[in-house]
Amino acid sequence: MKPEDKKLKIGVLGCGVISQAAHLEACTRANNVELHAICDVAHDLLESMSNKYSPKRTYDDYDAMLADPEVEAVIIGIADQFHVPMAKKAISAGKHVLVEKPLGVTIEECEELEQAVRRSNLVLQVGNMKRFDPGILYAQRFIQEEMGEMLALKAWYCDSIYRYEMTDNVMPVIVSSQHAKKPKGNPKLDRQRYYLMTHGSHLIDTAMFLGGEMMSVQAWHTHKFGAHNWLCTIEYASGVVGQLDLTVPVRMDWHEGFQVYGEHGSVIAKTYNPWLFKASDVEVFSSKDGLTRKPLGADAHFYKLQLEGFADTILHGAPMIGATVHDGVHNMRALVAIARSVETGGKIKLADVSGAV
Ligand SMILES: NC(=O)c1ccc[n+]([C@@H]2O[C@H](COP(=O)([O-])OP(=O)(O)OC[C@H]3O[C@@H](n4cnc5c(N)ncnc54)[C@H](O)[C@@H]3O)[C@@H](O)[C@H]2O)c1
């Protein structure tokens, strides 16, 4: 796409895995942003990423980056436990925020952030980049504009046991540092919690993007031979009942997608491992013309597209496609509700939950 004249000046917080694999390159490729600054406490990472991406400024101190008047928006690409405190600082400093998913680690901290965003005139978008998968976006628009009433929605996200073999071949070689700032303990050791948070937040967001807000959840969790499976029945606010399947890892290829049945049509989607940057294969059948459509979605750099969408909202007031701070809070509620339902064996209303997964 043609570069725009006015570009949003971005500061990226964190030069770790997700910034190296997605955000820094997205800043370079997006037509409406400029990578103005990068920040990391780890000097070796900062230097290495500065050499590769040539930002105008580098910072080893986040407060100093926020004090840079040229920084208009920040991308927060750091561990989940730091998302909310760093996003609140950015909002206080008058900067727009694109923060990685999940929004935070407790419902209460996410709600505090939501209040802070509401009091500001700033945009906060959560990094649920699958909304910018052209296939998923096409499906969402068909559902909104043509499909009529929804009957049911099934969605699944099953990470492959071969994920790293596959992604190592296509992701850039990641530079790591002993000086990187990490949360206390190792939150990734509790696999049940970690998988639900990190993968479940994608599945919930896709389901919400297609089906709207959720009212209640009943979930079952099984753990065998190192694999975790959550099967959930969801009641949506619209009255629709749906199912979610989160499985990590499956003994097969990456397996993700959804099926939606509606009044005037239906949708079937197959989503690929995100690091392949390939749009979901989507089949939309419309009973209005009796035809099946299969959009191509040639440009599927989800991380670039989410950044362009974010900048477009800020620069031109374009409607937000990405997940809002409210969506991020709702997503946290859904994740906590799934965890509580597994513990209690009962149906849990999202409005009734508090705390963390
Ligand atoms: N959207 C996706 O597809 C996707 C994929 C992978 C990871 N993620 C998300 O990305 C986030 C980050 O994951 P990661 O694996 O890149 O983390 P990471 O730990 O590899 O990198 C974070 C970097 O930020 C730096 N940092 C942290 N706090 C800082 C501070 N206050 N000041 C300066 N530097 C600071 C650290 O030194 C580190 O280098 C997580 O929330 C994860 O869920 C999203």
Please indicate whether residue 151, judged by its CB atom, sits closer than 6 Å to ligand 1.
no
The position carrying tokens 């049940």 is 192
What is the average per-residue pLDDT within 71-85? 98
Q: Is 127 in the pocket of ligand 1 (CB under 6 A)?
A: yes
pLDDT tens by residue, 318-335: 999 999 999 999 999 999
Task: Tell me the two tokens of residue 164.
Answer: 């790293």
Mean of pLDDT over the chain: 97
In the chain, the percentage of residues whose pLDDT exceeds 90 is 98
| pLDDT over threshold 90, residue 56 | yes
**pLDDT for position 3:** 78
Question: pLDDT digit string (tens) for 216-246?
Answer: 999 999 999 999 999 999 999 999 999 999 9
Q: What is the predicted pLDDT for the residue at 4?
A: 80
Pocket test for ligand 1, best of 170, 181, 201, 303 (most atoms within 8 A of CB): 181
CB 320 within 8 A of CB 309: yes
Residue 2 pLDDT > 80:
no
Q: What are the b/e assignments for 114-124, b being 16+ CB within 10 Å?
A: bebbeebebbb
- Percent of the chain having pLDDT more than 70? 100
The tokens 């997940």 sit on which residue?
Answer: 323
16 touches ligand 1 (CB under 6 Å): yes
Ligand 1: which of 12, 17, 254 to mutate, judged by most atoms within 8 Å of the beta carbon?
17
The tens digit of pLDDT for each residue in 3-31 reads 788 999 999 999 999 999 999 999 999 99
What is residue 233's predicted lDDT score, i.e. its pLDDT?
98
E strand intervals along the chain: 8-13, 33-39, 57-59, 73-76, 96-99, 124-126, 150-160, 214-224, 227-236, 241-250, 255-262, 265-271, 281-286, 291-293, 323-324, 348-349
Lookup: tokens for 83? 């998302």
**Residue 145: partners with Cβ closer than 8 Å, 6 or more residues away:** none
The span from the CA of 281 to the CA of 286, in Å, is 16
Q: State the distance from the centre of ligand 1 to the C-alpha of 221, rounded, in angstroms.
A: 28
The pLDDT of residue 168 is above 80: yes
Kindly tell me if the per-residue pLDDT of 154 is higher than 90: yes
Q: What is the DSSP letter of 2?
A: P
Instruction: State mean pLDDT over 97-117.
Output: 98
pLDDT tens-digit profile of 263-289?
A: 999 999 999 999 999 999 999 999 999
Of the candidates 309, 302, 299, 298, the residue with the CA atom closest to the CA atom of residue 33 = 309
- Indicate if ligand 1 lies below 6 Å from the C-beta of 181: yes
Q: Phi and psi of 231, rounded to 5°?
A: -115, 125
* Whole-number Cα distances in Å, 82 to 50, 184, 272, 283, 304: 23, 11, 29, 39, 23
pLDDT tens-digit readout, 190-200: 999 999 999 99
Beta strand pairing call for 281-286 and 348-349: unpaired
Q: What is the pLDDT of residue 314?
A: 98
Tokens at 77, concatenated: 């690409």
Kindly report whether the global pTM for this prediction surpasses the value 0.85.
yes
Tokens standing for 149? Answer: 């009433």
Q: What are phi and psi of 33, to 5 degrees?
A: -135, 160
334, 106, 126: which is closest to 214 by C-alpha?
334
Report residue 1's pLDDT band, with 50, 70 and 90 as the boundaries: low
The closest alpha carbon to 7, from 352, 274, 311, 327, belongs to 311
The closest residue, in CA terms, to atom 4 on ligand 1 is 18
